[in-house]
Structure 1
């Protein structure tokens, strides 16, 4: 199942509605980066989107290179170096103190794509640096159900559909609503990964799972082995 999205305004290649994502605030990500990155250090933000996290990182004094495949997304990023490119296969001529891969991209149902994402992280982190990966722990999928909803101000996010299409692989559609005026959908696939499976995937690319940075275990730190 290819990720896809519907609704007003431009939609990125992975189905993300640009206008909707521009409404979302950061959710603790800048503080996590600050925990593991030296003051004034360099950050490679993979899948940076509209700069929701980029801009707070810049305000904290970090040097940020923001990578995304959506020109409409990157057009909203200010004061950071931007790179219009897909994450997989990315080869910049430098390494960074911290590499960040957010949005549960690592839970892709495409195993080869996951390895490419992790390889990109590994080849861009300095020795002694940190890779931050947002993922969905295996148990999180058990809490998915149609109608699951959360609201943040005028924004409502609802799971409109979910199906386990094969063991451990889920197809889901989210519905995003802004007030009573605008509605978007985004469909995607997600694969259940255990801690051991994630650690093995990281090890394949020379990274070691170092720990979990949040109580819900959705943010992983990995370091060069």
Structure 2
């Protein structure tokens, strides 16, 4: 387990504290709709951090081709219908480019700045001419008004238990997922980013925001900066 990351509950736990069985149960939300509205039909998507394929499978159903990348072989075993690659995102170097690179699950908020920089460089490196990067950000209130909980219509309760400052802009976040038959917890490190900080991070990698895709700014579409 990575320092600062932990997970509890039934089944395999990945190095960043994610439970494979938990992620297999979580429902897909509006992510595929947001993505489909922002990219060309039938685009080839490089999905970084695909997990068990929660978004992957919904994109395949919409006619996209997906290459799913994750560092966990246990996660990738659950992916069906997509090409899968087991690798660390921040060091990925394929000899190919894609119409769309997808960095969801708030991965841009990695607590380690160098990991974030590596991920964004990978996004830029694998982007075809005229392509775009779609990035999911934390909401403005992600680290505030805690603890809070939300009861999901599918029958589980998500509790955001705490977000404790650890210094150098990093927070230790603890979440709990309570199902009728099992409970999982996840502790991870996250670095909140203002919109300005987010755009500066993109600029370091030669990217810029083309537009924000949702009113809350959680989803952003980025393209290569003009050189």
TM over 0.5: yes
Superimposed CA distance per residue, residues 62-108 of structure 1 (whole angstroms, 9 cap, x where no aligned partner): 11000001111110100110001110110111111111001111111
In the aligned structure 2, how far is the partner of 1:150 from the partner of 1:172? 16
Q: Deviations over 1:127-165 (max 9, x none)?
A: 11110111125x32453412x111212211112232122
Q: How does 1:61-80 map to 2 (within 5 A)?
A: 61-80=63-82
Flag the 1:29–1:48 CA change in 2: closer, same or farther, 3 A. same
Determine the structure 1 residue equivalent to 2:217. Answer: 217
- Offset of 1:168 from its aligned partner? 3.6
Select the residue among 29, 32, 35 that pairs with 2:34.
Answer: 32
- Equivalent pairs counted in the alignment come to 222
Q: Counterpart of 2:117?
A: 115
Maintained 8 Å contact 2:207/2:222: yes
Equivalent-residue separation in structure 1 for 2:120 and 2:67 (angstroms): 18
Q: Which residue of 1 aligns with 2:186?
A: 186
TM superposition shift of 1:30 = 1.2
- Can you give the 5+ residue segments of structure 2 that lack an aligned partner in the other structure? none
Tell me how far apart the structure 2 counterparts of residues 194 and 162 of structure 1 sit (CA, whole Å): 16
Whole-angstrom distance in 2 between the partners of 1:191 and 1:142: 10
Deviation at 1:47, TM superposition (A): 0.3
Please list, as runs of the form range in 1=range in 2, the aligned pairs for 1:52-131 lying within 5 A after superposition. Answer: 52-131=54-133
Structure 1 runs of 4+ aligned residues shifted over 4 Å read none
- Aligned equivalents of 1:128 and 1:201: distance in 2? 21
CA contact (8 A) 1:101 1:132 kept: yes
- What is the distance in 1 between the residues matched to 2:143 and 2:159? 16
* Separation (CA, whole Å) in 1 of partners of 2:161 and 2:14: 20
- Is the Cα contact below 8 Å between 1:202 and 1:208 reproduced in 2? yes
Structure 1 regions of 5+ residues with no counterpart? Answer: none
Report SS of the residue matched to 2:215: coil
- C-alpha distance in 1, partners of 2:187/2:141? 18
CA distance in 2, matches of 1:215, 1:25: 22
Question: TM-score scaled to structure 2, two decimals?
Answer: 0.93
Taking a change above 3 Å as real, the CA distance of residues 143 and 91 of structure 1, as seen in their structure-2 partners, is: same
